[in-house]
Amino acid sequence: MRVLTLTDIHDRLSRALKIVVSNRDIDAIIVAGDITHFGTLEEALYILRSLHESSAATIFFVPGNCDDPRLIDYSGDDRIVNLHKKPIASEISL
C-alpha cells in the first residue's frame, strides 16, 4: 500500500496537486490539517475532492485550526474520510 501524507495546504491546491500527480499509484492520502487558510467548509471539501479526483486514492483527513470548524462534523463518504475523533483499526499482515 502506498500512502502520501500532506499537511498545511492552506488553499494552495495547485501545489498539492503537483505533489499528488508526481506520485502515481497512491492508495491513500492523509491530509493532516490546515486544508484552507480560514476558508469555508465548501472550499475545504473542494480541495479534498480535487485531491481524490486527481489520484483516485481514498482521502483521510483531520481538520486543522485554520479550517472551518464545521469540517469537524463532516461525515464524509467512502472516498473522503474524516478521522477526527474516530479511531480506525485494521489488521496488518506482515
71-88 per-position pLDDT tens digit: 999 997 889 999 997 776
pLDDT single digits (tens) 5-58:
999 999 999 999 999 999 988 999 999 999 999 999 999 999 999 999 999 899
Domain holding 47, by residue range, is 3-82
Residue 87 lies in a domain: no
CATH assignment of the domain containing 47: 3.60.21.40
The dihedral region occupied by 88, where left means phi > 0, alpha psi between -120 and 50, and beta the remainder, is beta
Provide the domain count of the chain: 1
Could you tell me which of 27, 25, 37, 88 has the C-alpha nearest to residue 67? Answer: 37
